[in-house]
């Protein structure tokens, strides 16, 4: 019985093998099988291709973002460099203008001027004194007027070999004889007084006042004040400032002054060593 079964299965195998050989011997049959197989796997091939494209696009996009991020960082650094350069050039331009104005003032001034640079300034005496880099060796003496092209700064006091202390106009110990431009008494005399700093209260800038005025002075806001030349220390017609507020007191009248020179922000000055 077992031998018969083996004989039957063997025959069927030979027949099946023959059919397979006959089927694949025909090119049309092979193409049909290939087409069917391709139809089965085609959706998977399309899906895989789409995923590959998406991955490639994503990777390309990430590379582009990395490049853009690097470029943005470079541009930010460059922008900071350009901003710093621009600020430096603006500072140089401002300094150049100041130097040109100072040179023009030096050449056109009626005084013999010694240029000086501020080398020291104490925060506790910010509005009282400064130290400049000119002294006895440069011909500087005490009680010499100190000014800028804008107006009066103060006067020299203590003088060393190559440095001098300058008492500022805002100090209460610096007194300057002054007159008000265009203002006259009823008698026709020019209105004159004494300019001096008032002791500061708190952290504010000291007030500069013009006192010893007659009660009839009646000064107006904005009137210009100049040195009168009386007293022998300060020459005449140096700008001091302008009237800010005027008030009549019990015995005289008094005016507060806006200084012609910003004494909180000066770097270079001139010392008057004589007249031309």
The Cα 238–Cα 148 span in angstroms is: 10
- Chain Cα centroid distance, residue 51: 54
Instruction: Indicate the pTM of the whole model.
Output: 0.64
Q: What pLDDT tens digit does each residue of the chain (276 aa) get? A: 555 555 545 556 565 555 555 555 555 555 555 555 555 655 655 555 555 566 566 666 666 777 777 777 887 877 777 776 666 656 556 656 666 666 666 666 678 899 999 999 998 889 999 999 999 999 999 999 999 989 999 999 999 999 999 999 999 999 999 999 988 777 778 899 999 998 765 556 788 999 999 888 889 999 999 999 988 899 999 999 999 999 998 888 999 999 999 998 898 999 999 876
């Amino acid at each position: 019985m077992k031998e018969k079964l083996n004989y039957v299965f063997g025959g069927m195998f030979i027949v099946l093998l023959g059919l397979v050989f006959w089927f694949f011997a025909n090119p049309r049959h092979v193409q049909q099988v290939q087409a069917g197989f391709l139809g089965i796997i085609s959706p998977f091939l399309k899906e895989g291709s789409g995923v590959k494209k998406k991955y490639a696009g994503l990777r390309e996009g990430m590379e582009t973002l990395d490049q853009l991020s690097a470029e943005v960082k470079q541009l930010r650094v460059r922008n900071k460099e350009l901003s710093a350069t621009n600020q430096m050039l603006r500072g140089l331009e401002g300094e150049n203008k100041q130097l040109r104005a100072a040179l023009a003032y030096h050449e056109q001034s009626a005084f013999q001027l010694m240029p000086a640079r501020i080398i020291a300034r104490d925060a506790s005496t910010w509005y009282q004194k400064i130290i400049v880099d000119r002294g006895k060796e440069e011909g500087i003496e005490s009680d010499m007027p100190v000014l800028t092209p804008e107006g009066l700064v103060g006067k020299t006091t203590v003088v060393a070999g190559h440095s001098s202390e300058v008492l500022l106009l805002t100090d209460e110990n610096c007194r300057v004889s002054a007159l008000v431009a265009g203002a006259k008494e009823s008698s026709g005399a020019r209105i004159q007084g004494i300019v001096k700093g008032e002791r500061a209260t708190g952290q504010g800038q000291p007030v500069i006042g013009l006192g010893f005025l007659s009660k009839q002075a009646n000064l107006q806001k904005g009137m210009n004040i100049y040195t009168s030349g009386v007293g022998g220390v300060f020459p005449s017609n140096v700008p001091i400032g302008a009237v800010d507020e005027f008030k009549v007191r019990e015995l005289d009248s008094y005016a507060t002054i806006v200084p012609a020179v910003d004494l909180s922000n000066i770097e270079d000055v001139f010392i008057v060593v004589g007249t031309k």
